[in-house]
Structure 1
Amino acid sequence: MTTALCPGTFDPFTFGHLDMVRQCLVFADNVVVGVAENVSKTPLFTPEKRQELAEKTLREADLDTLVSVEIIPGLLAKYCQKRGIDVIVKGVRNASDFDYESSMSQMNLHLGAPPTVFVAGSPGLAHISSSMVKEVARYGVDIFDMVNVETAAALYDVFRIKPPQARGKVIAARFDQNGK
């Protein structure tokens, strides 16, 4: 049985990340989404909240019985060794992503991690990044085609923005009750 790890900051988990997980299920028997505590980034959400939002997205996509979500508490290579990970899977959207992830892959190998497989983002999703989702959410833009409803609600809540009415009716009542 092959166990694949999809590590990332997932701040937040997007439909682009979900696409990568679906691609992993084609060649791996077990898939773990690893929420990393990246010290070089300042995440908007805690690792526990990022884990929760990823789990909700996977549950909504009916993948929660096939994929687990775990927090990676330190060095990726050590986590892989301890957890028995066979392959690391990283999504790449463009050449810049590939250059960065390729360097990370080499360092991970040097530290004893398993090899990394790169999967290309599917058309229509490759432009989605957590950073861009946060940026447009900050301005109240409709993000419901990039993240699930729970994640959108969490982002709008953090930014204290009422969600757009176009597709935000599902969570609009929650914001109205809270007076936001």
Structure 2
Amino acid sequence: MRRIAVVPGSFDPITLGHLDVIERAAPLYDELHVVVVHNPDKEALLPIAQRVSLIESAVKDGGVGGNVVVASWSVGLLVDYCTDVGASVLIKGIRSQVDVAYETPMAIVNRDLAGVETVFMLPNPAHAHVSSSLVRQVAALGGDVTPYVPQAVAGFLNAS
């Protein structure tokens, strides 16, 4: 039986913290789907297609194995995507107790709805303070985001 997991997120934009979770999760599964999902509570900076493209570049540039699939999902529940691709696990990066409190109810509901378990991965301490929101704010104010994002993202944001 193939072990398939999903790393969901808005990835607006993908950060080095996100990439760290992807790089560490990829060898644990036969197939790892990195899925850009729409978050109705956030106003997006980048269109979903651009986020997918930047993730593909970051994964390729980072040398992550060939078992990573990058996709997007905006119709229905995330567990519906998991069911469609045969994934039994969601991987979530957790930076703080705030993230645990936010993610725990969703993990329980995802397990109840579709039997999909959630695995929480702690961050590399070097990236624990980084969020996409922080990167967007620094970029909007003309700051240097290169310490926080993959090279492809930094190049894209600097060109914008």
TM-score computed with the length of structure 1 as normaliser: 0.82
Supply the distance in 1 between the matched residues of 2:115 and 2:134 (Cα, whole angstroms).
30
Equivalent residue for 2:158, pick from 156, 162, 165: 156
Q: Which has the larger radius of gyration?
A: 1
**Any idea what SS the aligned residue of 1:124 has?**
helix
Gaps of 5+ in 2: none
1:110 CA drift (Å): 2.6
Q: Does 1:76 align with 2:78?
A: yes
Query: Cα RMSD between the aligned structures?
Result: 1.5
Gaps of 5+ in 1: 159-180
1:78 and 1:113 in contact (8 A); partners too? no
1:81 and 1:113 in contact (8 A); partners too? no
Deviations 1:25-83 (A, max 9, x none): 24212111011022222211111111001011001111262311011122101111111
How many equivalent residue pairs? 158
Runs (4+) of structure 1 moved beyond 2 Å?
153-158
- Letter paired with 2:128: A
Equivalent residue for 1:111, pick from 83, 104, 113: 113
Supply the distance in 2 between the matched residues of 1:7 and 1:146 (Cα, whole angstroms).
19
Structure 1 residue aligned with 2:4: 3
Instruction: Name the % identity.
Output: 34
Q: Does 1:58 align with 2:59?
A: yes
Supply the distance in 2 between the matched residues of 1:107 and 1:44 (Cα, whole angstroms).
29
**Any idea what SS the aligned residue of 1:121 has?**
coil
